[in-house]
């Protein structure tokens, strides 16, 4: 359980909230009480738990990456293998939980937004499993760079709606999903893909992802007999990061480090580093750090990785940053691409481009932690979805 309870308005300090059209307030109230009720229902948590085990493949391994450690100058780097989850990323932890909740609320039409397509695939998978109607909104640009996942969603019976407005990426896919929800709220549940959006989404998605940190804490204690000196995770909306951070929040000696996308470099303005250089503002229903211009217009984000290509970030991260409990940094597209190759060659693991950001940062700084004990990196997903895109970036013909 988290030690950081949201303040009375269900905020994280000043961050979070429910900045949404009036139409959604009733549904958010309903969702909050359904979730609170489910969260305290033993049957619900054991149903989620057994599905994540038997269908999802949990617990995921905590793997001692020795060759990566050698290359980085640190003898004990551990990878939390969320890439080994069914569908290839941590996203399934959340979609199984939310789909079960939707069924509890009697809603059988599901919508979702997706960037990399991992959340879309995980949602489509849960919907296939429970026989729910599934519509996934995805920016046109992402439909192109994540073609494999688009086809996977279709195989799973989902309808993929390409979004051509605005930036044609995750931000506008989210706008479109919210517009659908405003229209269909009486029959539809919106499975949001990260710890973003209006309350109760940030705390609910955190709770579903907190299984990552619970397992990690147990595993590292069992394997090494001590807590890690630092935990690293990439941050798009921030769900895999919050998921792994949550169990360590009260262990003040464990440094928590989130890695955002620096795109072509913070100084170029083409990046997705909302925590590093954004200013607090309101997008998609919550108050949080946000990339925006002087007029309060949201700036387009940029990242080679579709899952990090988002100008906002979950409100709990904004809070952890401001109170100094977590630190946030950013690495460039190029560093992430290099790390993508390094991990493949050193460990036989092709990471998702999102996760490659965390790997890249660890490669840079791990040596500094050499004498402080083990460090853990959340390997949030596997890179199959990115293979074709990376090949293309590196001058090859697209593979799919």
Partner 1 sequence: MDDDVLISKSFKLLGSEGRTALIPYVTAGYPTRDATVPLLERLKDVGADIVELGIPFSDPLADGPTIQRSSFAALENGTTVASVLDDLRTFRDGNDLPIVLFSYLNPILAYGLEAFLSDAVTAGADGILLTDLPTGADPEVEARISESPLALIRLIAPTTPSERVPKVTRGGSGFVYYISRTGVTGARVKLRESLAEELGQIRSVVSLPVAVGFGISTPEQAASVAGVADGVVIGSALIEALDKGGIDGGADFLHSIRIGMDRG
Residue-wise over 205-226: b if at least 16 C-beta within 10 A, else e?
A: bbbbbbbbbebbbebbeeebee
How far apart CA 20 and CA 66 sit, in angstroms, is: 47
**Residue of 274, 288, 380, 388 marked catalytic:** 380
Asked whether the beta carbons of 287 and 9 are under 8 A apart, the reply is no
DSSP 363-383: HHHGGGGTTS--EEEEE-BBS
How far apart CA 335 and CA 356 sit, in angstroms, is: 8
- For partner 1, the binding residues in 176-205 under the rule CB under 8 A are 178-179, 182-186
Q: Show the binding pattern over residues 14-53: x = contacts partner 1 (CB under 8 A), - = does not.
A: ---xxxxxxxxxxx-x------------------------
Cα 338 → chain centroid: 21
Q: Is residue 91 annotated as part of the catalytic site, yes or no? A: yes
The single residue among 61, 129, 148, 282 that binds partner 1, judged by CB under 8 A, is 282
Residue 374 interacts, among partner 1, ligand PLP, none and using kind-specific CB cut-offs from 5 to 8 Å, with none
Nearest to partner 1 of 157, 166 (CB atom): 166
Nearest to partner 1 of 26, 398 (CB atom): 26
Q: Is residue 380 annotated as part of the catalytic site, yes or no? A: yes
Asked whether the beta carbons of 118 and 149 are under 8 A apart, the reply is yes
Does 171 sit near partner 1 (CB under 8 A)? yes
Nearest to ligand PLP of 185, 235 (CB atom): 235
Give me the least distance between CB of 150 and ligand PLP, in Å please.
14
Give me the least distance between CB of 141 and partner 1, in Å please.
16
Phi, psi of 41 (to 5 degrees): -100, 115
**Residue of 80, 91, 321, 385 marked catalytic:** 91
How far apart CA 310 and CA 205 sit, in angstroms, is: 17
Angle of helix 384-393 versus helix 353-365 axis, rounded to 10: 80
Nearest to partner 1 of 80, 203 (CB atom): 203
Residue 166 interacts, among ligand PLP, partner 1, none and using kind-specific CB cut-offs from 5 to 8 Å, with partner 1
Phi, psi of 300 (to 5 degrees): -65, 140
Active site residues: 91, 113, 380
Binding residues for partner 1, per CB under 8 A? 17-27, 29, 165-166, 171-172, 175, 178-179, 182-186, 279, 281-285, 287, 290, 292, 294-298
């Amino acid at each position: 359980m988290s030690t950081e309870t949201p303040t009375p308005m269900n905020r994280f300090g000043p961050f979070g909230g429910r900045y949404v059209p009036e139409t959604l307030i009733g549904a958010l109230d309903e969702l909050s009480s359904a979730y609170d009720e489910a969260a305290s229902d033993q049957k619900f948590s054991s149903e989620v738990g057994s599905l994540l085990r038997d269908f999802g493949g949990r617990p995921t391994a905590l793997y001692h990456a020795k060759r990566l450690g050698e290359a980085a100058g640190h003898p004990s780097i551990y990878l939390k293998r969320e890439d080994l989850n069914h569908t290839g990323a941590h996203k399934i932890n959340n979609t199984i939980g939310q789909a079960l909740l939707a069924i509890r609320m009697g809603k059988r039409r599901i919508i979702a937004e997706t960037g990399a397509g991992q959340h879309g695939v995980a949602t489509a998978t849960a919907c296939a499993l429970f026989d729910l109607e599934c519509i996934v909104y995805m920016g046109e640009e992402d439909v192109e760079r994540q073609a494999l996942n688009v086809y996977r969603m279709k195989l799973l019976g989902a309808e993929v709606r390409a979004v051509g407005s605005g930036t044609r990426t995750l931000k506008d896919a989210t706008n479109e999903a919210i517009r659908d929800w405003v229209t269909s709220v009486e029959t539809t549940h919106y499975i949001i893909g990260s710890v973003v959006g209006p309350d109760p989404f940030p705390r609910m998605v955190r709770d579903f992802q907190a299984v990552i940190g619970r397992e990690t804490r147990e595993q590292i204690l069992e394997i090494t007999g001590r807590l890690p000196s630092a935990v690293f995770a990439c941050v798009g909306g921030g769900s895999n990061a919050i998921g792994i951070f949550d169990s360590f929040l009260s262990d003040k000696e464990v440094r928590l480090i989130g890695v955002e996308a620096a795109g072509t470099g913070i100084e170029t303005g083409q990046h997705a580093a909302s925590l590093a250089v954004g200013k607090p503002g309101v997008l998609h229903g919550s108050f949080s750090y946000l990339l925006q211009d002087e007029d309060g217009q949201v700036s387009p984000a940029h990242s080679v990785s579709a899952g990090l290509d988002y100008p906002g970030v979950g409100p709990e991260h904004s809070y952890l940053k401001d109170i100094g409990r977590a630190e946030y940094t950013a690495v460039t597209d190029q560093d992430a691409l290099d790390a993508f190759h390094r991990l493949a060659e050193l460990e036989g693991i092709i990471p998702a481009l999102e996760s490659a950001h965390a790997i890249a940062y660890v490669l840079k700084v791990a040596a500094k932690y050499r004498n402080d004990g083990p460090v853990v990196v959340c390997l949030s997903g596997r890179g199959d979805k990115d293979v074709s895109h990376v090949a293309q970036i590196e001058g090859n013909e697209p593979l799919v």
